[in-house]
């Protein structure tokens, strides 16, 4: 991942340690041992807070928030394995999806701000970047839905995707969005 501070990689070595590489320096993140024998469903990396924190999730119902100085900052517990993580463009929210739920966490204090249950299993969600009034979500029902951030009410839907929607994201300006 190319960032303002250089290229960074988060990877797992043969000893099941989570490593963070900043430029030419490789560091092991404390608590990085992953003992769950299930397949890692999602390893999502997002740097934020002036690139001092990173998020990642494995197939075990937790989102791990790391301080790249080598310690876990917080565990965000969910009801199901996390399928997607996004840090909002303004850095205020961490958006996670698990099962049929989209959760919005405070990115500074890590408390749950909002949680919306969807009428389908969700693979991915993204918050509209300018006003943060809407979010999109996609998943197993093969449609891309737009919801009101505050109420969770569906306000739009794009039908016709030929298979599950695995990833949705707003453009940086918020005027459009894309999905795969």
pLDDT tens column, 118-146: 999 999 999 999 888 999 999 999 999 99
Question: Quick one: tokens of 145?
Answer: 């839905």
- Token pair in block for residue 80: 């199901």
> Which domains does the chain possess?
1-77 (no CATH), 80-180 (2.120.10.30)
pLDDT for 68-122, tens place per residue? 555 666 788 999 988 888 889 888 999 999 999 999 999 888 899 999 999 999 9
pTM for the whole structure: 0.71
Q: What is the mean pLDDT of residues 8-30?
A: 45
């Amino acid at each position: 991942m190319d960032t303002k501070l250089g290229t960074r990689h988060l990877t797992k070595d043969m000893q099941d340690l989570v490593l963070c590489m900043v430029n030419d320096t490789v560091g092991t993140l404390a608590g990085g041992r992953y003992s769950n024998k299930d397949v890692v469903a999602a390893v999502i990396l997002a740097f934020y807070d002036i690139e001092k924190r990173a998020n990642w999730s494995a197939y075990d119902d937790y989102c791990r928030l790391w301080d790249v100085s080598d310690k876990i900052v917080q565990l965000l517990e969910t009801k199901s394995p996390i399928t997607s993580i996004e840090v909002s463009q303004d850095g205020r929210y961490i958006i996670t999806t698990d099962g049929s739920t989209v959760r919005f966490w405070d990115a500074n204090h890590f408390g749950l701000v909002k949680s919306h249950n969807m009428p389908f299993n969700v693979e991915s969600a993204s918050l509209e970047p300018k006003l943060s009034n809407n979010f999109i979500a996609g998943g197993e029902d093969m449609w891309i839905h737009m919801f009101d951030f505050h109420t969770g009410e569906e306000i739009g839907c794009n039908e016709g995707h030929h298979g599950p929607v695995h990833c949705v994201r707003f453009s940086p300006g918020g005027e459009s969005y894309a999905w795969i």
